[in-house]
A and B are shown apart, each in its own frame.
Chain A
Amino acid sequence: MKRKVLSIVMAGIMILGLGACGSSSSTTSTSSAAASTAQSTSSASAASSASAADTSAAESTASSSTSIPAVDPNTNGAEEITLWHYFDSSADAKAIVEKCNEYNKLQSKVHITPTYVSRTELMNQYTIGAVSGELPDIGMVDSPDMESYISLGVFEDVTDELGSWDELSNFYAGPLSSCKDASGKLYGLPQNSNCLCLAVNMDLLNKAGITDVPKSMDDFKKAVEATTDSANSVFGYAMCAISTEEGTFQLLPWIVATHDGTKSSLSDLTNANCDPGLDMLGSFVKNGNMSSECVNWTQADAYNQFCAGKAALAEVGTWHMATMSKDVNGTFNYKICLLPTGDSGTSSSTIGGENFGICTGCKDKAACVEFLKWFMSADQEAKWAVLAGKLPVRSDAKPEYTYEQDAFATFQDEMNYALARGPHAQWPTISEQLYTAAQKVLLQGTSASDALAAAWTVISPILQESPLPQQ
């Protein structure tokens, strides 16, 4: 009998173990992937692309053939400062190593060691590190996630060190606000910005008898319908509506837009002005103007559809400009224009970008702050924007783009109409409700008003407790 009981207990533990292998990742397990520090140049894996919100996560860049320099391993006795990032396009990945090496040569007090960790794994490590305390000295984070990680205690308050920096006023308010908590305390600095615009295949547009890029949602709808060519498997429009933050990033401009002179807002999803954009996207899927696969597409997938000539119009990000010319490879003429999400002449978009924060338990806060001040100086910001196909986060940074100048000017203009996601500690829950509502419209034919009303039942109590900042 004893043996029977013991065997049951032991086997039970075995089952527990197997169960734990499958599920305990929710609370306890870590992955050794975080420790893999290869300066990877590979394009993003499915896993990372599934969650990369708005960065150059999944496509190679114009300089993909450029090799990434090695991190100078010789610290020369300087204090080592670890920096974790998820820059995985070759231009970004190369630039971050070069910048760290440059800074290490400029001074001898500290040695910055950049380490690549895939985005998904990095976010997991921050969550685990919030409990275990195993964090880098400086960490990179997608701007809408920063508030959540501040709440989790991942980043350290650096208001005393950075708050009085006289150059802080040169930073754009939107990106800078994503580095602050609800009480206005500062936890890091924004490093780059981006937003979304519309890419138009001018050859297909002209072939459909339309000469100019769409300037209103009505124009846009006509253009998408006219350029759809089912016989040749060409869709009028391609975008990403995947069930991750990446989907929310691309869907937001169609929810928050100006209709009949009034701009809708995330603070009231029951407003009828939130509906027209989503309803139109639903009709695109229903009528074959947009592939239903958009619910599984990452931004890179939608971009690839455009570059392959399989979509006449597509929602693209600033970072795509680094590669678009090469990827289109002269097969058609294209233009970048403001996202025509509402009334004629109005537009809306979403702000993306990365921040660098100083992590809790950082071994030399003052030195890390000095590095961030140098890294986000006007001169470095301008250089980075050109290198990586991004927009600077400072008004006094003047990048001299050597390619796609017109497109970058359009993206810079679009920033005036772009919406920041949050900052809000429960943004991930809000985001989940938004992409779920959109997928109901796209796949199940639910009306936008019903889908958004369902989402609002979850979002409303969250915003009542802690409202989104006014934009």
Chain B
Amino acid sequence: MKTQIRSRKDRECYPFILPAFIYLLVVVGYPIVYNFVLSFKNTNVKNLASGSSVFIGFQNYKELFTDPTFLLILRNTFIFTIACLAFQFTIGFLFALFFYKKFTFAGPIRGMILVSYMIPMSVTGLLGQNIFLNTGLINDLLSRIGITGPEWLTQTSTALIGVIIMNNWVGIPFNMLLLISGLSNVPQEVYESSSIDGATKVQQFFQITLPLMKDAIFAVLMLGFIYTFRAFDLMYIMTAGGPLNSTDVLATYSYTLSFTQYQFSKGSAVAVVLFLCLLIVGLFYLRLIVKGEEDT
């Protein structure tokens, strides 16, 4: 009986989500399906106008996964994402724990840290360009303590590090903000009773804070992964993907192939790889959420 009522209620709800569903289908679903289809064709500058492109199966994917440039770019994307996530999350968490405490000027300082998050990414890219010049701010500071800094953005070994540092500059406040809101959901009573039981601060962190913030942490990590993995504007402005593709990521490469070299199908195939990587992470996170709901 209960099941029947619930199922009827569900049916009554469907019309309400229908407009959003149709919107997503048209605005998001169609371009993605079109992108998938395009990635299996050979559409390029020579046949776009005539419409004479044909299906070539997995040829674009085969070419991509045997192309050293694409493999380098795939590697760059993962290094960039993982390095950014690791630093942003760790430092963001430390900042969150610090600024969650009530002390004089905690609010204003927290606000100041958020400034970097509020700056448009294109401006951050331009700042990064100047900070990491051979004679820029970083190398100037290093030279004052007797260290000769590297040629950050002109060496293939250091250019990605420069971009990662600038992305962290923006990402740390974002992580801090989300984790502070997660911290505020942890009941203070739990800390009080654990103190009475003699728990140390370290024990409280690992036994109370981390477990109770599990959902917030997963949300931050997943959102962080998605936002970082599809990064485009920072490297586009700061290095244009160079030198020698050392700061190119999947999103910039997809753009270059499609809009600079007019290899539309190949560009779409790169976009599909990008999408599949994000989908796997998304499904993994959803599985964890569903499991969590079942446990509770």
Q: A19-B230, A26-B270 known; A292 and B154 CB under 8 Å?
A: yes
A296 to B240, alpha carbons, bound, how many Å?
Answer: 8
Q: Mark contacts of B253-291 with chain A using CB atoms, 8 A cut-off: 1 yes-contact digit, 0 otherwise.
A: 011011111111001101100110011011100100010
Contact status A23-B250, CB under 8 Å? yes
A15 to B284, alpha carbons, bound, how many Å?
Answer: 12
Nearest CB of chain A from residue B159's CB, rounded to whole Å: 9
Contact status B259-A124, CB under 8 Å? yes
User: Do most interface residues of chain A lie in helix, strand or loop, or is the interface mixed?
Assistant: helix
Contact for A295 among B32, B243, B263, CB less than 8 A: B243
What residues of A have a CB within 8 angstroms of the CB of B32 in the complex?
16, 19-20, 24
Contact status B271-A131, CB under 8 Å? no
Contact status A426-B45, CB under 8 Å? yes
Contact for B242 among A2, A243, A426, CB less than 8 A: A243
Is the CB of B155 closer than 8 A to any CB of chain A? Answer: yes
Nearest CB of chain B from residue A308's CB, rounded to whole Å: 13
What residues of A have a CB within 8 angstroms of the CB of B49 in the complex?
130, 151-153
**Interface positions of B from 4 to 50, Cβ below 8 Å from A:** 10, 24, 28-29, 31-32, 34-35, 38, 45-46, 48-50
Contact status B232-A22, CB under 8 Å? yes
Contact for A23 among B48, B274, B282, CB less than 8 A: B274
What residues of B have a CB within 8 angstroms of the CB of A47 in the complex?
122, 236-237
Is the CB of A18 closer than 8 A to any CB of chain B? Answer: yes
Q: A17-B28, A425-B45 known; A293 and B255 CB under 8 Å?
A: no
Nearest CB of chain B from residue A29's CB, rounded to whole Å: 7
Beta-carbon nearest neighbor of B232 in chain A: A22
Q: Which of B88-96, B128-136, B196-204 contacts A (4 or more CB under 8 A)?
A: B128-136
Q: A8-B283, A12-B283 known; A296 and B45 CB under 8 Å?
A: no
A2 to B241, alpha carbons, bound, how many Å?
Answer: 44
Beta-carbon nearest neighbor of B241 in chain A: A243
User: Do most interface residues of chain B lie in helix, strand or loop, or is the interface mixed?
Assistant: helix
Beta-carbon nearest neighbor of B278 in chain A: A19
Is the CB of A402 closer than 8 A to any CB of chain B? Answer: no
Q: Mark contacts of A228-251 with chain B using CB atoms, 8 A cut-off: 1 yes-contact digit, 0 otherwise.
A: 000001000000001110000000
Q: Which of A253-261, A274-282, A437-445 contacts B (4 or more CB under 8 A)?
A: A437-445
Q: A18-B226, A46-B126, A148-B262 known; A244 and B240 CB under 8 Å?
A: yes
Contact for B153 among A19, A50, A296, CB less than 8 A: A296
Contact status A130-B48, CB under 8 Å? yes
Q: Mark contacts of B117-143 with chain A using CB atoms, 8 A cut-off: 1 yes-contact digit, 0 otherwise.
A: 000001001100100011100000000
A148 to B153, alpha carbons, bound, how many Å?
Answer: 31
Contact for B24 among A17, A148, A436, CB less than 8 A: A17
Is the CB of B209 closer than 8 A to any CB of chain A? Answer: no
Contact status B31-A436, CB under 8 Å? no
What residues of A have a CB within 8 angstroms of the CB of B261 in the complex?
428-429, 432
Contact status A27-B237, CB under 8 Å? no
Contact status B254-A23, CB under 8 Å? yes
**Interface positions of A from 84 to 143, Cβ below 8 Å from B:** 123-124, 127, 130-131
What residues of B have a CB within 8 angstroms of the CB of A193 in the complex?
none
**Interface positions of B from 196 to 253, Cβ below 8 Å from A:** 226, 229-232, 236-237, 239-244, 250-251
**Interface positions of A from 405 to 460, Cβ below 8 Å from B:** 425-426, 428-429, 432, 436, 439-440, 443-444
Contact status B155-A443, CB under 8 Å? yes
Contact status A443-B243, CB under 8 Å? yes
**Interface positions of A from 288 to 311, Cβ below 8 Å from B:** 291-293, 295-296
Is the CB of A67 closer than 8 A to any CB of chain B? Answer: no
Nearest CB of chain A from residue B96's CB, rounded to whole Å: 24
Interface core residue of A25, A27, A296 (most chain B CB under 10 Å): A27
Contact for B46 among A11, A23, A151, A243, CB less than 8 A: A151
Besides A12-B286, A293-B151, 13 new A-B residue pairs in contact (Cβ under 8 A), listed by A number: A11-B286, A19-B278, A22-B232, A23-B270, A26-B264, A46-B122, A123-B259, A153-B48, A296-B154, A425-B46, A426-B46, A439-B242, A444-B156
Interface residues of A (CB under 8 A from B): 2-4, 7-8, 11-29, 45-47, 50-51, 123-124, 127, 130-131, 148, 151-153, 233, 242-244, 291-293, 295-296, 425-426, 428-429, 432, 436, 439-440, 443-444
